[in-house]
Amino acid sequence: MKYFSAFTGVGGFDLGMPQDWECVGHSEINKYANMILKYRFKEVKNYGDIEKINWKGVPDFDMFVGGTPCQDLSVAGKRTGLNGSRSRLFFEFIRTLKEKKPRYFIWENVKGTLSSNGGWDFARVLTEFSEAGYSIWWQVLDATWFGIPQHRERVFVVGSLGTESPIKVLFKPRKDRTFNEKQEQKTQRINTIYNDRKQVNRIYGIDGISPTLHRHTGGGQITKIAVPVLTPKRLEKRQNGRRFKENGDPAFTIINHDRNGIFDGKSIRTITPLESERLMGWPDDWTKYGIDFKGNTVELSDNARYNLIGNGVVPQVVKGIIQLININRSENKL
């Protein structure tokens, strides 16, 4: 199988692909992500800006994967939807499907896609996939269902070229293998201390597995979760402006610039880039080194690494989807 990875980041999708699959190309424009891609995937061509790719000059591939920019769809953003300057790049994903006609695709995005513009944006997403000639299956998948100790809910849409249901084409219908049942068997929902209609205002307790590591922007912290504090009698209290986890507790969801902390018994410290990589299911120091424009191997700053990690894809989720696809490809001799 050959695949093309768009909006590649630092290769989260690639890490979830079978080792015997061939990547025929990447499409990424972020300076630091490209440095890491050049370091980690020396033999794979980076075609750069997807809006400028002439797909006639790209080798054919069986599967197209990628998570289009989500800032305009996220509940943490301005929610300008598919017409936003970044999320409109979704239509480049569609252009690729129409021009290259790969047999399968996997599209990933934030859970907020479902509620953007009252749900009409996601309806448009599904319609566009269908009009491109694909039968589709979609579900919100949580990284905790795949053995990752952070709540990171993302929408995954899987498509197969043609009119037959992708449930029949792609997935083996086994009741004990559904993602929802895996959630109930392997995870415990975290206790909500303070509930609110907006997820960013909710405060969670220490029971269960923590939500996704969240984002820090120039305007202030955007947080989905709150964790134990030093003074048990006052759950709203913080230390040094941070809520924190104790060593051994499940982690938060990873964000662009992590402001979560770990309490070691004496003080609160920030989660390191290495710990953040592990919480994403990535190999140690995956984002530590890159190759600059001069061809030199360089070490990336912690700030650059936090941003790349927070925008990444958990490979174990991708691997789980691919394994189910492989089961039925073998049984149906596709």
DSSP state at residue 294:
T
Rounded to the nearest 5 degrees, what angle is found at the Cα of 193, between the Cα atoms of 188 and 198?
A: 95
* CB crowding 60-69: b at 16 or more within 10 Å, else e: ebbbbbbbbb
* CB crowding 249-285: b at 16 or more within 10 Å, else e: bbbbbbbbbbbbbbbeeeebebbebbbbbbbbbbeee
Whole-angstrom CA distances from 109 to 14, 263, 312 are 16, 32, 11
> Catalytic pick from 65, 70, 262, 300?
70
139 in Cβ contact with 182 (< 8 Å): no
Backbone dihedral region of 320: left (phi > 0), alpha (psi from -120 to 50 degrees) or beta? Answer: alpha
Closest CA to 291 of 13, 27, 33: 33
Active-site annotation holds for 70: yes
Give the residue numbers annotated as catalytic, written as ranges.
70
